[in-house]
Structure 1
Amino acid sequence: MIRRFAAVAALPVLTAVFAFGNAAPAHAEGELSPVMVVLDSSGSMTARDVGGSGTRMDAAKRAVGSMIDSLPAQAPVGLAIYGAGTGSSGSEKAAGCRDVRVVEPVKAVDKPAIKRAVNAAKASGYTPIGRSLLTAAAQLPKEGQRSIVLVSDGEDTCAPPQPCDVAKQLHQQGVDLHVHAIGFRVDAKARAQLACIAQSTGGTYHDAADADALLGVLGRVTDRALRHYEPTGQPITGTADPFTAPTMTPGQYLDTLSPVEERFYAADLKAGDTAYFAATAIFPRGNPRDLEVLDIKITGPGGADCYRSERELHTRAKQDGGALTTVLSWNGTVPGSSKPKGCSVPGKYVFRVTRDAKDGTDRVPLELQLRIEPPVTGSFGEPAQTGLVDFAQQPAGTVRPVRGGGSFNEATTLTGAGRYGETIYNGEELYYRMKLDWGQGLAYRVTFGAVPDAGTTNIRTGLFSPVRSEIKFDTTAYTGTTNILPSSGKAIATPRTAYLNRNASDAVIRESSIDGWYYIVVKLGAPFAHEAGGVPVTIDVAVAGDKVAGPAYGTSTGETPSSPTPSTETPSASQSTPSGSGTTAGQGSGGDTKPAADKTASSLPWIILGAVLLLIVAIVVAVLILRRRKSAMPQTPPGYPNGPGQGWSNRP
């Protein structure tokens, strides 16, 4: 369950988007991809785990067991173990370097069999990483998305073959084969080798400093490998000091965050800018703690306290995993906003991000988005909308099959109104997206089908704006009978999107002041007893409204812009900007950035000239009629290039 808290010391925050485009989904829709897990059982795994009550092997067994328990029943997962069949003496090296055993081939996961094999393994032998990669790859299909998840506490002790060379060879065989490596308390040399393996195949490398960290990382990496998901963004490292924070430009970034640290990031804001800073933390199933908090606070130039923070809570992070997103919007430099002194001027603003926990060493991926909206210097577009999209009738037609993505980045596109369906498994959080232009809105509901003898768990759905702000959600318990969310019987709905919606007191209307991708998220929690084995879900979506003109954005400058007064009247054609223009700095209606009042005044001379021309036309037509009565061959007057009735030449 996710709850929202906010501390505000100013006017209601505007919510809109300008910079940072929305990319297409990064994954191919389809079934879960096959994964081969490779576990280190070499002699070094007998070392004591720091802070733990057992050995590294004991920690690895617990981590694998937790990961296996959390997998969907149909997940195609296999397991190989190296180093468990021989000792580590010199006389045993030849046999030890061949000691890679496939415990379970890649198929619908046999959880009891894998757990028995892992629990029976004894750490004793060598570390043939290169050979284990070749063995694992041979267990996977020859094409399509597929992954190897490698856990090791040290470097290869059997080369040749060199593990990094093997990884490069595997990558040449197919770009859809990725190796994700986890270094369990490794030194610098082993870390470099494992990172090379991951980087050579387009995979990822993760450090695990202790048992808790390994438990979290292994679950997360395997989960994302199955669902075609990896956190994405330009690498960035936030600082512990706000005055040395890296300066971000609009875009998406990727960092990591532990439970006990602060990370600072900066952005330069000009007069009239509105900034939208979103942080998304991604938690694995089997997260070390249930309660996770993601907090963002903003300070102004020179460290001025802006008295503004946003906070989101996840109360089932351990059982359910998933993502937690917090968004902070700031419009302090916009004329007319009443913000604290020192936070209403152009300059460098700093965002502090914390998980706000008491202890722990586990790190989670942290996606960061910065979006900047410049001032509106022309038309605001349509007036504010007050009514929500109607969902009186369920969309008709057959249910179209879809395969949801695992994140905002990989959300599956819904192509319009209709019915969409798939199967969701325990612990999954699926993302879908729909494009709403200015003037369009949506309504939807989700039906979780009946599954006899399914275990009790939670179900949830939420609708997110293009800046990842949650507009509305609903959640309830699922016990195997048919459930419809929202449980009230009403759909989750938006009004038609309009820039001026941001001034509304109603949060749903206020959040619908942006055009772009809206995200529908559907979640089936981890079971309290046994798994459901897959629950059919149907998403019914209604879309209303036609694409209309949006706001005419100006250019961010260091000067205070002359901001027009918002109007509640429908703009005329001469005041509107075609939808899509104004989404790049400096664009407006024909490049004109004058306020709407100036545009109206400047059009007056043309109105007078048009009236004079119409009067002239009337006189000419009257003359022609008189002449036609006198002649069978009338003259075509100037200004009628195609003859009477075929269109006036509208030259000034």
Structure 2
Amino acid sequence: MIRRLAALAAVSALTAAFSFANAPAASAEGDLSPVMVVLDSSGSMTARDAGGSGTRMDAAKRAVTSMVAGLPDQAQVGLTIYGAGTGSSGSEKAAGCKDVRVVQPVATVNKPVLTRAVSAAKASGYTPIGHSLRVAAAQLPKEGQRSIVLVSDGEDTCAPPQPCEVAKELHKQGVDLHVHAIGFRVDAKARAQLACIAQNTGGTYHDASDADSLLGVLGRVTERALRHYEPTGKPITGTADPFTAPTMTPGQYLDTLNAEEERFYSAELKTGDTAYFAATAVFPRGNPRDIEVVDLKITGPDGADCYESQRELNTRAKDGGSLTTVLSWNGTVAGSSKPKGCSVPGKYTFRVTRDARGGGADRVPVELQLRVEPPVTGSTGEQTQTSLVTFAQPPAGAVRPVRGGGSFNEATTLDGSGRYGETIYYGEELFYRVKLDWGQGLAYRVTFAGRPDGATTNIRTGLFSPVRAEIKFDTTAYTGTTQILPSSGKPIATPRAVYLNRNANNSDFRKASVDGWYYIIAKLGVASGDAPAGGVPVTIDVAVAGDKVAGPEYGASTGETPSIPTPSASSEPTPSGSTTNEAGGQGGDDKVQPVADESSSSLPWIVGGAVLVLALAIVAAALIIRSRKSSALQPANGPGYGGPGQNGSGYNGPGYNGPAANGPGQNGPGQGWS
């Protein structure tokens, strides 16, 4: 009995260790990037606001006050004002060109203080834009996603320093520092100067022609700046030489890569281990090139070629966002039949290559995630699943407000089955997560509310596994009418998560072979032309089905060479003579294929007992080119849900700029569901 208890304790510890390794990086849900707002209080702001009552300064105060009122309580926001401390006479120029005052440092927002400071500001002086950008940047953290939102009604009157040169200077401090500029009733010369600032920092430029448009644009731009992708991880520096690559243990790391660069990282794998390695490159808005590639390749101990690589392409990298490529390796699992030299325990090396030969940003952050699953030595749990979960009835109940995060690391938790809603802004991609225990599955849909004045763009949603492997996605055009994704009328769904799903013929089922956080992503593309202020309400209907069951009983990894076991009755291997690959399943309805490296081996994938979740995870705000199409979901019990279906708008559509739309949500009543 004592031995049995000790064995059970060891299994529990191993299971906990694997679960911990699969947990997302520690961060507060919906963490927001710090933002410094820079407000023009120069003498020109005393001019009357066309079409409205009061001056431009009055309009700016109303816009900033409204923006502050709408900020989330956890927002990290500061306020800098220039031009309010001197006059605009020639004798005051020297002092006026230094007149930049930090009214509120970047910190957890104090709405009363900010509101009083804005109310007290008086327009009177010069326009030191270049100097104000330096002051604002100095108030922000030195690394991580951070933004400046600049509001000005004219060009710099104090240069040098020239604002565009300052923007280039700021860009050298890191590709994740962005300046978003708003031109309030500006002429062509001032517009060109402000746009130059935005372009050189990967930010955005917007025109505001009157008080109402300024109010909408300022709120939207600030909201968007708060929700950037925030790369996180333990710092690591890959090497150019695979034999000196740093050794990684399970966890998340952060490196940076140049436009054309390859780096090497290594991991010690024992007999029976399955490794999941993901690389997520994060691109700045305004990236110089649309097409970016992230390629992964693995080599075995002593440099043995394992003939396995995976790559993904992002064709809208200019819009910013991210790109993830995932590679799994089960070479030391018994029965894997990997190439000679790649089926033994030892140090394996992962090569990460970024290819942006058209002139991508010099360096971009790259999140590296290593997860190692030990072998199963006891029960494997339930049998391989053969059906997807679905909605039993149309969703019902009140819509719970949520606020999506800007990355996998900051994904906001959706607390099981229910309806969730918020506003998404043009150019945003929002991340949510749902916890699935062993035996549980997930189905969901996303409704983008109709806006008669909505701008034309694309919408997209995707479901990702705990190892960042994309399970399913759908995309279509949004033209201001209500759109539901998936447009097929069936939910994006998983089977119930069980260990033996990795033996399934369908690749989407294989990706649901681990428990943990599953990620839902909703994206509204950059608008085609101008769009009204505000955003598009979205509703996410979620069903979590199935009861928690016992999972696999993990054992300890060893350093021994694996032996080939006799197949057990509990496994469901691919039929004799069949072959499959990790992203394009043999059999089933899913015929998707990965964008594979031409040098990849044509050796068959052996699925008996292997962890087959080699997937192509895309987190980009841009659309992704694939050599696969979104296939129809397997039939599921229960009625589909309605809504106009519309074919996708393609992957190579042009990118657009412009403010987003505002309007009522469509949170209508429905029936109960399970």
Do the aligned residues in 2 keep the contact of 1:306 with 1:339 (CA within 8 Å)?
yes
Q: Who is 1:552 aligned against?
A: 553
Q: 1:371–1:213: structure 2 CA closer, same or farther, 3 Å change rule?
A: farther
CA RMSD of aligned residues (A): 4.6
Q: 1:96–1:512: structure 2 CA closer, same or farther, 3 Å change rule?
A: same
Q: Who is 1:389 aligned against?
A: 389
TM superposition shift of 1:25: 6.7
Q: Who is 1:457 aligned against?
A: 457
User: What are the Cα deviations for residues 412-445 of structure 1, in whole angstroms up to 9, with x where unaligned?
Assistant: 1111111111110011111110111111101111
Q: Who is 1:523 aligned against?
A: 523
User: How far apart are the structure 2 equivalents of 1:213 and 1:132?
Assistant: 14
User: How far apart are the structure 1 equivalents of 2:557 and 2:414?
Assistant: 34
User: How far apart are the structure 1 equivalents of 2:404 and 2:135?
Assistant: 34
Q: 1:309–1:475: structure 2 CA closer, same or farther, 3 Å change rule?
A: same
Aligned positions of 1:157-176 closer than 5 A: none
Please give the secondary structure, in 2, of the residue aligned with 1:247: coil
Does 2:499 correspond to 1:484?
no
TM superposition shift of 1:315: 1.6
User: How far apart are the structure 2 equivalents of 1:406 and 1:275?
Assistant: 26
User: How far apart are the structure 2 equivalents of 1:453 and 1:524?
Assistant: 15
Q: Who is 2:577 aligned against?
A: none
User: How far apart are the structure 2 equivalents of 1:23 and 1:456?
Assistant: 34
The amino acid that maps onto 1:540 is D
Do the aligned residues in 1 keep the contact of 2:167 with 2:197 (CA within 8 Å)?
no
The amino acid that maps onto 1:335 is A
User: How far apart are the structure 2 equivalents of 1:236 and 1:224?
Assistant: 29
Q: Who is 1:254 aligned against?
A: 254
TM superposition shift of 1:81: 6.2
Q: Who is 1:351 aligned against?
A: 350
Q: Who is 2:407 aligned against?
A: 407
Please give the secondary structure, in 2, of the residue aligned with 1:509: helix
The amino acid that maps onto 1:310 is Q
User: How far apart are the structure 1 equivalents of 2:493 and 2:223?
Assistant: 31
User: How far apart are the structure 1 equivalents of 2:484 and 2:459?
Assistant: 10
Please give the secondary structure, in 2, of the residue aligned with 1:261: strand
Q: 1:223–1:559: structure 2 CA closer, same or farther, 3 Å change rule?
A: farther
TM superposition shift of 1:491: 0.5
User: How far apart are the structure 2 equivalents of 1:546 and 1:330?
Assistant: 30
User: How far apart are the structure 2 equivalents of 1:97 and 1:568?
Assistant: 80
Q: Who is 1:327 aligned against?
A: 326
TM superposition shift of 1:122: 7.5
> Equivalent pairs: percent with the same residue?
67
The amino acid that maps onto 1:284 is P
Q: 1:305–1:352: structure 2 CA closer, same or farther, 3 Å change rule?
A: same
User: How far apart are the structure 2 equivalents of 1:38 and 1:446?
Assistant: 37
The amino acid that maps onto 1:265 is Y
User: What are the Cα deviations for residues 375-433 of structure 1, in whole angstroms up to 9, with x where unaligned?
Assistant: 11111111100110022422221111111111111111111111111110011111110
Q: Who is 2:543 aligned against?
A: 542
User: What are the Cα deviations for residues 573-628 of structure 1, in whole angstroms up to 9, with x where unaligned?
Assistant: xxxxxxxxxxxxxxxxxxxxxxxxxxxxxxxxxxxxxxxxxxxxxxxxxxxxxxxx
The equivalent position to 1:215 in structure 2, one of 175, 200, 211, is 200
User: How far apart are the structure 2 equivalents of 1:17 and 1:546?
Assistant: 21
Q: 1:531–1:362: structure 2 CA closer, same or farther, 3 Å change rule?
A: farther
TM superposition shift of 1:36: 2.1
User: How many residues in Structure 1 have an aligned counterpart in Structure 2?
Assistant: 456
Q: 1:488–1:148: structure 2 CA closer, same or farther, 3 Å change rule?
A: closer
User: How far apart are the structure 2 equivalents of 1:326 and 1:128?
Assistant: 36
Please give the secondary structure, in 1, of the residue aligned with 2:268: strand
Using the size of structure 1 for normalisation, the TM-score is 0.61
Do the aligned residues in 1 keep the contact of 2:298 with 2:348 (CA within 8 Å)?
yes
The amino acid that maps onto 1:232 is T
Q: 1:21–1:322: structure 2 CA closer, same or farther, 3 Å change rule?
A: same
Please give the secondary structure, in 2, of the residue aligned with 1:248: coil
Q: Who is 2:629 aligned against?
A: none
TM superposition shift of 1:253: 0.4
Q: Who is 1:156 aligned against?
A: none
Please give the secondary structure, in 1, of the residue aligned with 2:260: coil
Do the aligned residues in 2 keep the contact of 1:35 with 1:225 (CA within 8 Å)?
no
Do the aligned residues in 2 keep the contact of 1:19 with 1:372 (CA within 8 Å)?
no
Q: Who is 1:336 aligned against?
A: 335
Do the aligned residues in 1 keep the contact of 2:294 with 2:323 (CA within 8 Å)?
yes
Does 2:436 correspond to 1:436?
yes
Q: Who is 1:22 aligned against?
A: 23
TM superposition shift of 1:355: 2.0
TM superposition shift of 1:258: 1.9
Please give the secondary structure, in 1, of the residue aligned with 2:445: strand
User: How far apart are the structure 1 equivalents of 2:299 and 2:230?
Assistant: 31
User: How far apart are the structure 1 equivalents of 2:387 and 2:372?
Assistant: 28
Please give the secondary structure, in 2, of the residue aligned with 1:502: helix
The amino acid that maps onto 2:551 is G
User: How far apart are the structure 2 equivalents of 1:486 and 1:132?
Assistant: 42
Q: Who is 2:300 aligned against?
A: 300
Does 2:470 correspond to 1:470?
yes
User: How far apart are the structure 1 equivalents of 2:147 and 2:494?
Assistant: 42
Please give the secondary structure, in 1, of the residue aligned with 2:510: helix
Does 2:374 correspond to 1:374?
yes
User: How far apart are the structure 2 equivalents of 1:526 and 1:379?
Assistant: 49
User: What are the Cα deviations for residues 326-369 of structure 1, in whole angstroms up to 9, with x where unaligned?
Assistant: 10000111111121112111111111112212134432211110
Q: Who is 2:505 aligned against?
A: 505
Q: Who is 1:640 aligned against?
A: none
TM superposition shift of 1:20: 1.1
User: How far apart are the structure 2 equivalents of 1:546 and 1:427?
Assistant: 38
User: How far apart are the structure 2 equivalents of 1:245 and 1:223?
Assistant: 40
Q: 1:361–1:428: structure 2 CA closer, same or farther, 3 Å change rule?
A: closer
Q: Who is 1:616 aligned against?
A: none
User: How far apart are the structure 1 equivalents of 2:568 and 2:546?
Assistant: 21
Does 2:250 correspond to 1:265?
no
Q: 1:375–1:561: structure 2 CA closer, same or farther, 3 Å change rule?
A: farther
TM superposition shift of 1:306: 1.2
User: How far apart are the structure 2 equivalents of 1:19 and 1:36?
Assistant: 39
User: How far apart are the structure 1 equivalents of 2:37 and 2:452?
Assistant: 31
Q: Who is 1:419 aligned against?
A: 419
TM superposition shift of 1:26: 2.4
User: How far apart are the structure 2 equivalents of 1:400 and 1:325?
Assistant: 30
Using the size of structure 2 for normalisation, the TM-score is 0.59
Please give the secondary structure, in 2, of the residue aligned with 1:306: strand
Do the aligned residues in 2 keep the contact of 1:456 with 1:478 (CA within 8 Å)?
yes
TM superposition shift of 1:518: 0.4
The amino acid that maps onto 2:233 is G
Please give the secondary structure, in 1, of the residue aligned with 2:343: coil
TM superposition shift of 1:98: 3.5
The amino acid that maps onto 2:488 is S
Do the aligned residues in 1 keep the contact of 2:137 with 2:148 (CA within 8 Å)?
no
Aligned positions of 1:121-270 closer than 5 A: 149=148, 184-185=168-169, 215=200, 226-227=226-227, 230-270=230-270
The amino acid that maps onto 2:344 is V
User: How far apart are the structure 1 equivalents of 2:327 and 2:24?
Assistant: 22
User: How far apart are the structure 1 equivalents of 2:31 and 2:237?
Assistant: 34
Does 2:311 correspond to 1:311?
yes
Do the aligned residues in 1 keep the contact of 2:412 with 2:431 (CA within 8 Å)?
yes
TM superposition shift of 1:560: 3.5
User: How far apart are the structure 2 equivalents of 1:132 and 1:475?
Assistant: 37
Do the aligned residues in 2 keep the contact of 1:212 with 1:362 (CA within 8 Å)?
no
Do the aligned residues in 1 keep the contact of 2:30 with 2:406 (CA within 8 Å)?
no
User: How far apart are the structure 1 equivalents of 2:224 and 2:346?
Assistant: 39
Q: Structure 1: give runs of 5+ residues left out of the alignment.
A: 1-15, 40-70, 109-116, 138-145, 152-181, 196-202, 572-652
Q: Who is 2:208 aligned against?
A: none
User: How far apart are the structure 2 equivalents of 1:329 and 1:233?
Assistant: 20
